[in-house]
Amino acid sequence: MPKKKKTFRVIYHNTPIFVPMDSSPRKGICSACRRKKPDIKVTALHHWKYAYQTKTIKKDPQNALGNSTEFCFSSH
């Protein structure tokens, strides 16, 4: 029996999208300052470009992670 994927919430165009994945898309390392846990508590995914319309993302939620980078709040 295949392992069931968890769903992770990603905000895309101010709309919450639930993306099924094996592990969290956040790794806990800021792409700008390179700090990581425990130096920072929380990171956020920042979209550089919204390449798709929201209705397209709802059909294929994996696309919601494209063009995104992980930042801590002081670098975001």
Using one digit for the tens of pLDDT, what is the confidence trace for 55-66?
999 999 989 888
Using one digit for the tens of pLDDT, what is the confidence trace for 15-52?
999 999 988 888 999 999 999 988 988 898 888 899 99
Q: What is residue 2's predicted lDDT score, i.e. its pLDDT? A: 66
Domain ranges of the chain: 6-72
Q: What is residue 1's predicted lDDT score, i.e. its pLDDT? A: 59
* Whole-number Å distance between alpha carbons of 76 and 60: 27
* Whole-number Å distance between alpha carbons of 69 and 38: 19
* Whole-number Å distance between alpha carbons of 57 and 9: 13
Q: What is residue 70's predicted lDDT score, i.e. its pLDDT? A: 93
For the entire predicted model, the pTM comes to 0.74
